[in-house]
Amino acid sequence: MAVTPPVAGLAPGSTIGILGGGQLGRMMAMCAAQLGYTCIGYAPEGDNVSAPVSSDFFTSRWDDTAALAAFAARCDAITWEFENVPLETLDALPEAMVHPPRRGLETAQDRLKEKRFVEDLGGRTAPYMAVDDASDLERAIERIGTPGILKTCREGYDGKGQWRIASARDAEAVVLPGMPTVYEGFVTFAAEFSVILVRGQDGEIAFWDSTRNEHEDGILARSVLPAGAEVEAQVEEARALARQVADALRYVGVLTLEFFATADGPVFNEMAPRVHNSGHWTIEGAATSQFENHIRAVAGLPLGDTRTIAPRIEMANIIGKDATRAQDYLADPAAHLHLYGKRQVREGRKMGHVTRLPGEG
């Protein structure tokens, strides 16, 4: 797709609105402040950890049109920090102010729509079938086989809204959630990896190096560079698909596609229309972080250099009670600690992350 002429960026002192109050919004707001912008947040009541680093925060329902209008009136541009913002919320905001575009969110919110979209662009996916009732699930297992995984089409993340099915007998015990689901066959893979890109308002695209991602209990545990030969051999093909996705959506901002490295090449897993957990290493390990480049894109600024600036990098999530080990992390001279300020500690909750650049210190 042809690159369009550059647009004038937001002037310093402009205000960027962020839909959502989690840690991704927190890190966006901190980078925006470094670039001279003010951020205000908007999210329903909750542990909104981006509020303390924002100049203001609207605590209102997603369907509160009066609050959304007041929020938009304070903003020069608007973005989001997680993909479960209702589409109706975006529809209540001025379309020209919102980046990425609505279609990016709409596509990523529905796993079935997302898979079909990627297939139409020539991407590989795991074998899958839509499941609306028990008979659909039975047919899906007959067609695709087991083991497999049943996922809600909407909302599930970090292992939520997913049921592993090892055999047809397991399926008999599954209570369908009363919403559309999709059954996927398991993929035999050597490694999991992500392709993270940023696309500017002028159509320019830049990629960060791809990490090897390791998951535990459905949650990302570690992202590592170098990613290894299995991943590195498939990154270019995966990037080509990611570029097609970004251009087709006329995307603006950071976009993440997750892949399995397989004997047949990269297999698309899922898409996140936002900055991503597997890109947290870019804060210390890249010339320009994913958070800064997202703000640059939303503000219409030139994109920053995405090259990796350390030979080895490991980012590890801090889950649940591991957050109490702050002194242990800080005792490591190669460690960069990020705690998100969450008040409630519970099993499986991401409380922070630590990035290690061996050789420092």
Residues of the binding site for ATP: 111, 151, 156-162, 184-187, 192, 215, 269-270
| Closest by Cα among 309, 310, 283 to 294 | 283
Please list, in sequence order, all residues whose beta carbon lies within 8 angstroms of the beta carbon of residue 310, skipping any fewer than 6 positions away: 225, 284, 285, 357, 359, 360
The answer for 355, left when phi > 0, alpha when psi is -120 to 50, beta otherwise, is beta
- Going by the annotation, the residues of the binding site are 111, 151, 156-162, 184-187, 192, 215, 269-270
The 3-state DSSP class for residue 60 equals: coil
**How far, rounded to the nearest angstrom, does the alpha carbon of residue 126 sit from its chain's CA centroid?**
20
Kindly calculate the radius of gyration of the chain based on its CA atoms and give it in whole angstroms. 20
Cα atoms found within 13 Å of the Cα of residue 292, Cβ hemisphere only: 18
The 3-state DSSP class for residue 53 equals: helix
Beta strands in 188-295 (DSSP E): 191-199, 205-207, 212-216, 219-225, 253-262, 265-272
Please identify which residue in the block is written with the tokens 């990269």: 266
Structure-token pair, residue 54: 């924002």
Cα dihedral 80, 83, 86, 88 sign: positive
The 3-state DSSP class for residue 333 equals: coil
Please identify which residue in the block is written with the tokens 């980046």: 99
Please list, in sequence order, all residues whose beta carbon lies within 8 angstroms of the beta carbon of residue 129, skipping any fewer than 6 positions away: 136, 139, 140, 143, 144, 182, 183
Phi, psi of 39 (to 5 degrees): -120, 140
Cα dihedral 344, 346, 349, 355 sign: positive
CB 33, CB 48: distance < 8 Å: no
